[in-house]
Chains A and B, each alone.
Chain A
Amino acid sequence: MILRNIVAGIDAGSTAVKLVIFDGQQMGFWQQPTGWSPAEVTHQMLDQALREWTISRGDLRHICGTGYGRVNLPFLNTTVTEIACHSRGAAYLRPGVELVIDIGGQDAKGIQVGPKGRVLDFVMNDKCAAGTGRFLSVMAHALGLDVSELGAYAGGEEVSPQPINAMCTVFAESEVIGLINRGVDRKAIVAGLHHSVARRVAAMIARFDGDGPLLFTGGVSRNEAIRVALEKELKRPVEVNEHSPYAGALGAALIAWEKA
């Protein structure tokens, strides 16, 4: 039997748990909704991943955890914040990256990335849910849509976005309900919501100017319409990678690899 060095990175986020297994060459990606118990979901995912790779728990040389759920995962070797992990993960997915926008379930972050994926500076939303995945979920619900449908639903350039003025999630929901009742086109509302998120995030990261490579990560990076809206607001290219939602777990796996 050949002994392999295998490590895992786990990003237990507020909405989804992401897992990356890495052996120095290959990478495996898994994710599941967090539900009420991040620990249980993580266990299940790990078991599934181990089965698929036909390895056992003992083969994992190091497990690094990040995300809000990290404090409740007993089997981790190390924990690192999602800021450091997204920075590392983004630098791997997009060599030379200078700025990361990570929008997750309850956070929006801007991270200035230096050489080797080092964090130079970062900014993060406060308690408020504006500009996060949670904001989009609440609005999707008010519109009778699933949050995963929003990006495709918005349509393209032909839809003129309905401005959403309220920044607070609670007030914005009332505003959206008001717009629905006034008979405003649902597509226009969705486009307006995307702009609202982009505007909020752009204001938050305004101090990180420059025009170097910018990678969009986190669960919300799946929403293509937000990527386009961000480009419009920031007036610079915003890239995504197919593994952008896994950037945190990937960064954790890379850190685990160093520590193993």
Chain B
Amino acid sequence: MSRIAEERPFSMAFFDVAIPRAAGTIEEAKSQGKKVVGHYCVFAPQELIVAAGGVPVALCATKEEPIADGEKVLPRNFCPLIKSSYGFAITDKCPFFLHSDLVLGETTCDGKKKMFELMGKFKPLMVMNLPPSNKDEASQTYWLSEVARLKAYLEDYFQVTITEEAMAAAIEELNQERRLMQRLAGYLKHDPVPFSGQDLLKVLWSRNFVFDRAAFAEQVEELMKELDERVAEGVGATAKGAKRIIVTGVPTGVGTEKVIRILEESGAAVVFLENCAGMKQFIRLVDETKTPLEAIAEKYLATPCSCMSPNPDRMELLARLVDEFKADGVVDITWQGCHTYNVEARVLRDYLKEHRGTPVLHIETDYSEGDSQQIKTRVQAFLEMLEDM
């Protein structure tokens, strides 16, 4: 841990304070008359919020503290992410939920779907219904109608017109950001990795909490300049030749990076975060040559989430990432109660074994630290096994 702390890039300082500072900046944005739209997941078409002149803010909760409040209403054996999100919502302890004029929900799982029914009773809420698949034309047509419904909803709610030009501009802006994040993540192709997976997560997660996108991009550029120097000098967050691990599975944001932390403390190099707290949303761009609304619908529906059935894109993506980032192993994290990722862990393990011979460690856990020692044993045994291969 100390080594990571000592050898962190100096430009991480901005991202270290970005989230704590955001509580203040969101109030500022509100006082300037900005419309804040909270959303929960990477299926939320942020371009439409931006094109409506709104500020999108991610509400997906990563703290253990509100779970007890969430459990007063929701079943205990629910996924911790939903319990935490709901706990924050009913107690008004999350400034971002509190200051959201409108909340955008997406029916990515049964738990969230039913949770939104309860949330809609005390918060202005627009729920987008996802089709169960992204492969057939009927699902694609249906999703386009949901995206169009969101557009109409935002126009009506905020009394604005979302023009084609505004959508095109938002697409361009967010695509630029996606390319920026791809470049940043690309630094982890080096050996040793010039910065840690925990720091990559912090930058990606901060993205949700810096409302001045240009200022944020500038800071990422600064960080990359420093990373160039570190690469040139061979300075790494972990030792050269460390076992290279791709993290996938459920969202593990800042606050729930337990497994990523344990991996790095155990000497592994975390070379990619495939999950939706990580790079999932930044990998695919919105097609700028198509009609904006259709292009937006297409990009978001193509998100390789386990809620899609079947979900071959995630398997193929991970196989590609294993090659690109020269990964030795994959760690697949499931929150307790997340059935789709839990089942898909078997599918992924078999797929990577067959197509790449890459071992997968599946870890089922929650937001508490109670199982840290057990996870540590498993992670260390996994690394010992990779060392022996």
Given the complex of chains A and B, what is the CA–CA distance between A119 and B385 in angstroms?
A: 6
The answer to whether the Cβ of A92 comes within 8 Å of any Cβ in the partner chain is: no
Using a CB-CB cutoff of 8 Å, which residues 341-389 of chain B contact chain A? 359, 364-365, 370-371, 373-374, 377-378, 380-381, 384-385, 388
Given the complex of chains A and B, what is the CA–CA distance between A82 and B377 in angstroms?
A: 8
Q: How large is the interface on B (under 10, 10 to 19, 20 to 34, 35 or more residues)?
A: 10 to 19
Q: Is the CB of A126 within 8 A of B371?
A: yes
Q: Is the CB of A126 within 8 A of B384?
A: no
Nearest opposing residue in chain B for A114, CB measure: B388
Pick from B365, B381, B388 the residue with the most CB of A within 10 Å: B381
Given the complex of chains A and B, what is the CA–CA distance between A68 and B385 in angstroms?
A: 19
Using a CB-CB cutoff of 8 Å, which residues 76-133 of chain B contact chain A? none
How far apart are B265's CB and chain A's nearest CB, in angstroms?
A: 12
Q: Is the CB of B370 within 8 A of A119?
A: no
Looking at chain A's contact residues, the main secondary structure is: mixed
Instruction: Say which residue of B365, B373, B381 sits within 8 Å of A83 (CB atoms).
Output: B381
Q: Is the CB of A119 within 8 A of B388?
A: yes
Q: Is the CB of B373 within 8 A of A68?
A: yes
Given the complex of chains A and B, what is the CA–CA distance between A214 and B155 in angstroms?
A: 66
Instruction: Say which residue of B364, B373, B384, B385 sits within 8 Å of A121 (CB atoms).
Output: B385
Nearest opposing residue in chain B for A117, CB measure: B388
Instruction: Say which residue of B371, B377, B384 sits within 8 Å of A127 (CB atoms).
Output: B371
Q: Is the CB of A68 within 8 A of B377?
A: yes
Instruction: Say which residue of A80, A118, A121, A127 sits within 8 Å of B374 (CB atoms).
Output: A127
The answer to whether the Cβ of A240 comes within 8 Å of any Cβ in the partner chain is: no
The answer to whether the Cβ of A63 comes within 8 Å of any Cβ in the partner chain is: no
Given the complex of chains A and B, what is the CA–CA distance between A83 and B387 in angstroms?
A: 14
Q: Which 3 A-B pairs have the closest CB atoms?
A: A83-B381, A81-B381, A119-B385
Given contacts A68-B377, A84-B385, A127-B370, 17 further A-B contacts (CB under 8 A): A68-B373, A71-B373, A81-B377, A81-B384, A82-B381, A83-B377, A83-B381, A84-B381, A107-B374, A118-B388, A119-B381, A121-B359, A124-B377, A124-B378, A126-B364, A127-B371, A127-B374
Residues of B within 8 A of A (CB): 359, 364-365, 370-371, 373-374, 377-378, 380-381, 384-385, 388
